[in-house]
Structure 1
Amino acid sequence: MNQHTLETVVTAVKMDQSGYWHTLENSPFYAEGGGQPADRGWIGSHEVLDIQLIEGEVRHLLHESLPIGTTVEARIDEDVRRDHSIQHTAQHLLTAILEDRHGIRTLSFGIGSADSSIEIETTTMDWSLINALEHELQQLVYENRPIHVYEIPEEEVDRTRLRKATDRMGMIRIVEIEGIDYNACGGTHVGTTGQLGTIHVTAMKKVRGNIRLTYVAGNRAIEAIQQAREALRSIHHTFSTTNESVAERVIEEHTIRLEREKEIKTLEERIAKAKVEAVLKEDNYVALHVGRTEAETLTIAIIERIAATGRIAVGANYGTQKLFVMHDGTHDIAVGKFLKTALQEMQIGRGGGNHKQAQARFTSVSELERGMEEIVRRLQEGVLSC
């Protein structure tokens, strides 16, 4: 048996909608708490799905129930434990450096499946400070400082050194990063700062008047750096750039795209005006526009303009297989109810809307055309089953 495996006995089983919660005589598993997720692993051949501290008991969730009194082997997933320990220890280091060297207090912490985060009490964080922070953290990783985890009676705790005051009583578990941090903490941690590998801040976001820093450490940091490198290589290949010129080129392409979008919008305005004028030359109570190749936004713009002239406007967009019906509110017909009823009677498409506008979506162009023809016919002939 190693430190991640323990032979123990099932002492109780309780069932709920999640499955079967098992209590063990002794448990090597860490239950979720303090911002750290629960361990993963196995009890016998059964995968442990969750571990929670409930009513003072560590309970282990399995899909199946094991008989009380059964001797079992409880085995922690070492990779998950190591990863959680690295992320949690990285948080201790981040919190200590931010507070002691930059005067910024940590308010909360959590480990996610892909990254971790801390919320810090500041509004002035920027990326130049983050770059400096990462260098400070990396220096402490290089120094490979020992991390001591031990329990002492509450009266022996040096409360003047505690990172955060604790109301725990009895034996207090202390996590101490030599020369850096002294903390009352029940989570799992690595043995030295060198085992963190590297700590990399991946995102910064304002929340509730504070800043949330998202970070990764250890293998997570390596994977994040590799993903960023792959993205950068793809950009280099696409734009034929270097590291020095890539930002300038991306900004240039973004500017060009914005200019093109403006030009496209101007052209669409002209196209819409021309198509509306063409439709309005036909003096029909119901005006039909069919957009076979245009974007849905252009079809809608044209239909809205036609409806504003007092007609009932019907528009079809072949790309999205959608049908639109609108008027300016001066007509008695509630087009939403009309369209929904007509589609139900035809047993095609799905849609609805309100008094002035409605839309429907079809599963094929042929179905769209059939619906369009029938809707126009009913509107022209006054067949309003609503």
Structure 2
Amino acid sequence: MKDRLYYQDAYTQTFTADVVKRGTEQDGSPFVVLSQTAFYPTGGGQPSDQGKLGGIRVMDVEEVDGEIRHRLSDPLPENVTQVEGQIDWDRRFDHMQQHAGQHILSAAFLEVAGAETLAFHLGKERVTIDVRLDDLKEELWESVEQRANQIVLENRPISARFVDDEELATLPLKKQPTVTENVRVVIIPEFDYNPCGGTHPAHTGEVGMIKILGWERHRGNIRLEFICGWRALRDYTKKQAAVREVSKLLMTSDSEVIAQTQRLIAERDALKQSLQEKEKVLLEGEVRQQLERASQVGPVRIVQQTFTDKTIQQLQQFAQQAVAQAPDVVCLLAATGEKLQLVFARGPQVDVAVNQLMKDTLPLVEGRGGGNPAMAQGGGQPSLPAEEVLAHARRQLEAALA
């Protein structure tokens, strides 16, 4: 492990190494293997480092068959046998914060709730852990979060070292190692002893604030989202700016944002209810007018109407009102717009299947739809005038009534 500088000192940012191998991945990406490297390869839930080798971008780092491959944006010139490496320190330190934060949070869950961590993923925006719990009450996660941040503020040392079998047997491990050779243990004294191959800061204080963002049930356990350190500060800054902006819009203080929002929602709901009642009254009147103008075909009245200002849901409401007021009516309704919307309906005294009528009409507009014998709806391309489409449907209807 002497060639892996990130294990000797996780704070190493630059180094010099010999090029010992060149190659090309199956996807065409060039890669090099070096005599030593400070670039951490993907593993253990932690993404790889990025940075530069000899001025060429390192896109990804992965261990393949025991060798660490540095995938590059461009091939390294053939005459270059020695390179200077520089890792992206902001990315590396972020990973160190998040990974150490996961150790602390997982150990806090085990200590406070007796709940072990089953999985860990360090994402670009969020970090997740899966915890063996059936449910997570607010008071429990607050206690766990408080304990984790207490460990941070105590600024305890974090050490990591490779141990032999004899020493391994003496350590109070939180979980068993997944490897049998080169076992590395990360230690926060009197709190966490964990087999881990990732990179970590030297003290818990460098992790910064640990903040749980939310959780959900996942395969019978609880999956939590959290962030640490600089990520937590950026998140807080963004949310605080949002609260300030909402406060300005609501013309209230930060502390009154929730109460003011609740009042506005209550007012909105009341206005919405009032509007719906008035729209219902207007719709009833509109339906009565259309029924008075309806044409008569034998014992059946036909309302044939095209609208420019109604959605298909409003067409359906119109049709429902019409057949409720007049059991002898058939409605042939259309609404124009980006799509041509159609609704056909008939009252209980009319023996016509309007879903078949819709099926015969939709091919005119390359449309699709469905329904039942009493009401059907569909939509298609406005390739023909709505009046022409409804005229076709009426001819089909009159033939069915004959």
CA RMSD of aligned residues (A): 3.2
Partner of 1:301: 317
Name the aligned partner's letter for residue 391 of structure 2.
R
Name the aligned partner's letter for residue 288 of structure 2.
E
SS of aligned partner of 2:183: strand
Question: Per the alignment, do residues 63 and 160 of structure 1 end up closer, same or farther by CA in structure 2, a change over 3 Å counting?
Answer: closer
Distance in 2 (alpha carbons) for counterparts of 1:168 and 1:334: 69
Larger CA deviation: 112-121 vs 199-208: 199-208
Contact 2:56-2:76 within 8 A present in 1 as well: no
Tell me, yes or no, if structure 1 residue 353 matches structure 2 residue 364.
Answer: no
Q: TM-score, normalised by structure 2?
A: 0.79
Larger CA deviation: 269-278 vs 325-334: 325-334
Question: Per the alignment, do residues 143 and 371 of structure 1 end up closer, same or farther by CA in structure 2, a change over 3 Å counting?
Answer: same
Contact 1:335-1:358 within 8 A present in 2 as well: yes
Distance in 1 (alpha carbons) for counterparts of 2:271 and 2:353: 38
Partner of 1:273: 284
Distance in 1 (alpha carbons) for counterparts of 2:145 and 2:20: 46
Shift of 1:165: 0.7
Contact 1:90-1:217 within 8 A present in 2 as well: yes
CA offsets 1:264-298 (integer angstroms, 9 cap, x no match): 33334334433333333312776444444455532
Contact 2:99-2:200 within 8 A present in 1 as well: yes
Partner of 1:375: 389
CA offsets 1:65-105 (integer angstroms, 9 cap, x no match): 44678434433211111111101100001011111133222
SS of aligned partner of 1:171: coil
Question: Per the alignment, do residues 129 and 248 of structure 1 end up closer, same or farther by CA in structure 2, a change over 3 Å counting?
Answer: farther
Partner of 1:347: none
SS of aligned partner of 1:52: strand
Distance in 1 (alpha carbons) for counterparts of 2:123 and 2:161: 26
Distance in 1 (alpha carbons) for counterparts of 2:305 and 2:86: 68
Partner of 2:31: 22
Instruction: Give the counterpart of 1:4 among 13, 31, 37.
Output: 13
Name the aligned partner's letter for residue 379 of structure 2.
Q
Tell me, yes or no, if structure 1 residue 49 matches structure 2 residue 63.
Answer: no
Give the alignment of 1:141-156 within 5 angstroms.
141-156=152-167
Tell me, yes or no, if structure 1 residue 343 matches structure 2 residue 361.
Answer: no
Name the aligned partner's letter for residue 195 of structure 2.
A
Larger CA deviation: 72-81 vs 188-197: 72-81
Contact 1:205-1:212 within 8 A present in 2 as well: yes
Tell me, yes or no, if structure 1 residue 283 matches structure 2 residue 295.
Answer: yes
Tell me, yes or no, if structure 1 residue 125 matches structure 2 residue 136.
Answer: yes
Partner of 2:108: 97
Contact 1:149-1:175 within 8 A present in 2 as well: yes
SS of aligned partner of 2:62: strand
Distance in 2 (alpha carbons) for counterparts of 1:159 and 1:335: 78
Contact 2:24-2:30 within 8 A present in 1 as well: yes
Instruction: Give the counterpart of 1:184 among 195, 219, 222.
Output: 195
Name the aligned partner's letter for residue 335 of structure 1.
M
SS of aligned partner of 1:49: strand
Contact 1:42-1:75 within 8 A present in 2 as well: yes
Tell me, yes or no, if structure 1 residue 314 matches structure 2 residue 323.
Answer: no
Distance in 2 (alpha carbons) for counterparts of 1:136 and 1:158: 27
CA offsets 1:212-245 (integer angstroms, 9 cap, x no match): 2211111110111112212221232233333443
Contact 1:272-1:298 within 8 A present in 2 as well: no
Tell me, yes or no, if structure 1 residue 249 matches structure 2 residue 265.
Answer: no
Larger CA deviation: 142-151 vs 297-306: 297-306
Larger CA deviation: 198-207 vs 21-30: 21-30
Contact 2:357-2:396 within 8 A present in 1 as well: no
Tell me, yes or no, if structure 1 residue 40 matches structure 2 residue 54.
Answer: no
Q: TM-score, normalised by structure 1?
A: 0.82
Name the aligned partner's letter for residue 50 of structure 1.
D
Shift of 1:361: 5.4
Tell me which structure has the larger Cα radius of gyration: 2
SS of aligned partner of 2:174: coil
Distance in 1 (alpha carbons) for counterparts of 2:18 and 2:317: 70
Contact 1:145-1:192 within 8 A present in 2 as well: yes
Shift of 1:155: 3.1
Partner of 2:8: none
Question: Per the alignment, do residues 242 and 130 of structure 1 end up closer, same or farther by CA in structure 2, a change over 3 Å counting?
Answer: farther
Report how many aligned residue pairs link the two structures: 368
CA offsets 1:118-160 (integer angstroms, 9 cap, x no match): 1222234233333333333332222211111111223321455
Distance in 2 (alpha carbons) for counterparts of 1:174 and 1:325: 69
Contact 2:131-2:222 within 8 A present in 1 as well: yes
